[in-house]
Amino acid sequence: MKTLSREFLEKIINLLTERIVVVDREGIIMYMDKAYCDFIHTTQDKVIGKPVQDVIENSRMHIVVKTGREEVQEFQRINGSVMVANRFPIVINGKVEGAVGNVIFPDPEHLRHFKNNIQHLVNDLKYLRSEVEKDLKSKYTFDDLIGESPAFKKVKEFAKVISGGDSSILITGPSGTGKELFANAIHNSSLRDTCPFVPVNCAAIPEELLESELFGYEDGAFTGAKKGGKKGLFEVANNGTIFLDEIGDMALAMQSKLLRVLQEGEIQPIGGQKIIPIDVRIIAATHRDLEKMVEEGTFRQDLYYRINVIKLEVPPLRERKEDIPLLSEALLKKLEKRFYRKGVAISPEVIERLQQHSWPGNVRELENVLERAINVLDNNTIELSDLPLYIRDQKTDEPNSNQSEGPSSNREWNLLTLPIQIQPLKDTLALVEKQVIEKTLEFTHGNKLNAAKLLGIGKTSLYDKCKAYDIK
């Protein structure tokens, strides 16, 4: 290979307009390119052979040749303005023979221009980081847990007491009772509240991914693994709380791995040798009967004991129906915000009806019913006709209930009293349809709009049918 001539090298350096200075091991300038000379208003013949600190203001090149340590992207003040400089020692045969330095941003204008170019990236990064951090904060406190019934208050008070400790907690209760809300509130009033709250839905993450999600993996641990590896959720939750939701849905093999982590207080990311000590409080939740699962052999007994240090049983809504008025009001306030409504009220008949329902889906079901109601609402008060049929039309779920039959009783009648004779089915159906419409209109005192709503058909369709059956 042909060696580059000095002239050739100089041309390259000048073309690249880098401001370059080279010193020997004593810090004496051996070379300074034209751009650097122009930058500090001098010429090459004036500077070569001079100590660098006499030529360049605030230079540290003579220090770098002594320490042998590079200095990258350091600020340096020259002629009253701040620039950014790099300084590298030149090491030959293990000995520092000199140093080379360059100026990246010769003045604040260049720096500002560069900053402008990357500012949007920095902003994006800041935003994403705050979003991630926000996600790792628990969102609810005990004030968000609505309920004044003795059954609910007892659980809430107990939860407040245990939130201060560090023991594992198992929250049980049927679906939609607020287990996740409890977990959030407990973390928020614990000493760990400034550290992350990391919820993990064990049922939603595919079995084969759960291990890497929880414990993380090292670079190249398996095919398809992200370059550089990934932090596990246990590590993310360090010093905070991990919420293992739906723990009853965790596969047995994974249960064993989790047990080991809980016993040893450390994790080992997949594909690595590294052991990471962790300090995480465990809150687990399930709507399943874990004791029964232990008996059946589908849940590890030792893991059950580990997570069940403190048990919190959230009562189903049907056992605290006195909370329904307060809860409905609170949920409605939340929905008003979502649907941009204001001052929505609930009629006393509706409250009464809601208290008669057995709520298999608990608070979540109540939330859904109210959401549906707010969607079909004409004025500002939720009436019986705004409730879904299955709630509106049932008498009561409790056969022994001594509550009154409620306002729907005058909406029930026996179809068999209709004068039905053997005739084409089409005619019978038309007759039944006519009678049902008449009865409904009787119930709504002739209000066709309400009748259409109750029948679940459009207003025009009802008008057409009334015309066809000659209903006034």
Ligand X SMILES: Nc1ncnc2c1ncn2[C@@H]1O[C@H](COP(=O)(O)OP(=O)(O)OP(=O)(O)O)[C@@H](O)[C@H]1O
280 secondary structure, DSSP code: -
Task: Verify binding: residue 187, ligand X, rule CB under 6 A.
Answer: no
| From candidates 56, 64, 100, 145, binder to ligand X by CB under 6 A | 145
DSSP of 211-222: HHHHHEE-TTSS
Classify residue 364 as exposed, middle or buried by CB count within 10 Å of its CB (0-12, 13-18, 19+). middle
Task: Verify binding: residue 180, Mg ion, rule CB under 5 A.
Answer: yes
- How many of the chain's residues bind Mg ion (CB under 5 A)? 1
Helix and strand counts by DSSP (H, E) for the chain: 20, 16
Between 171 and 451, CB nearer to Mg ion: 171
- Which range binds ligand X by CB under 6 A, 31-39, 175-183, 370-378, 453-461? 175-183
| From candidates 83, 155, 170, 181, binder to ligand X by CB under 6 A | 181
Residues within window 362-401 making contact with ligand X, judged by CB under 6 A:
363-364, 367
Q: How far is CA 355 from CA 146, 179, 398, 404, in A?
A: 16, 22, 11, 11
Task: Verify binding: residue 199, ligand X, rule CB under 6 A.
Answer: no
- Which range binds ligand X by CB under 6 A, 9-17, 129-137, 174-182, 429-437? 174-182
Between 22 and 185, CB nearer to Mg ion: 185
Task: Verify binding: residue 243, ligand X, rule CB under 6 A.
Answer: no
Between 98 and 316, CB nearer to ligand X: 316
Task: Verify binding: residue 332, ligand X, rule CB under 6 A.
Answer: no
Report, in Å, the least distance between residue 245 CB and Mg ion: 5
Task: Verify binding: residue 367, Mg ion, rule CB under 5 A.
Answer: no
Contact present, 61 and 49 (Cβ < 8 Å): no
The strand pairing partners of 96, in sequence order, are 91
- Which range binds ligand X by CB under 6 A, 127-135, 143-151, 227-235, 459-467? 143-151
- Report the greatest alpha carbon distance in the chain: 122
Task: Verify binding: residue 177, ligand X, rule CB under 6 A.
Answer: yes
351 binds, among Mg ion, ligand X, none (CB under 5 to 8 A by kind): none
Task: Verify binding: residue 176, ligand X, rule CB under 6 A.
Answer: yes
Say how many C-beta atoms besides its own lie within 10 A of residue 38's C-beta.
Answer: 13
Written as six digits, the tokens of 77 are 């003040």
Contact present, 105 and 116 (Cβ < 8 Å): no
Contact present, 371 and 335 (Cβ < 8 Å): yes
Give 30-43 as a 3 state SS string.
Answer: EEECHHHHHHCCCC
The dihedral over CA atoms of 212, 216, 219, 224, expressed in degrees to the nearest 10, equals 30
Task: Verify binding: residue 87, ligand X, rule CB under 6 A.
Answer: no
Between 184 and 212, CB nearer to Mg ion: 184
- Which range binds Mg ion by CB under 5 A, 113-121, 176-184, 216-224, 311-319? 176-184
101 binds, among ligand X, Mg ion, none (CB under 5 to 8 A by kind): none
The strand pairing partners of 285, in sequence order, are 171, 245
- Which range binds Mg ion by CB under 5 A, 4-12, 179-187, 224-232, 338-346? 179-187
How far apart, in whole angstroms, are the C-alpha atoms of residue 274 and residue 260?
Answer: 16
175 binds, among Mg ion, ligand X, none (CB under 5 to 8 A by kind): ligand X
At CA 456, angle to CA 403 and CA 451, rounded to 5?
75
Contact present, 197 and 337 (Cβ < 8 Å): no
| From candidates 106, 178, 269, 406, binder to ligand X by CB under 6 A | 178
Between 171 and 350, CB nearer to Mg ion: 171
Binding residues for ligand X, rule: CB under 6 A, are 145-147, 173, 175-181, 287, 327, 330, 363-364, 367
Binding residues for Mg ion, rule: CB under 5 A, are 180
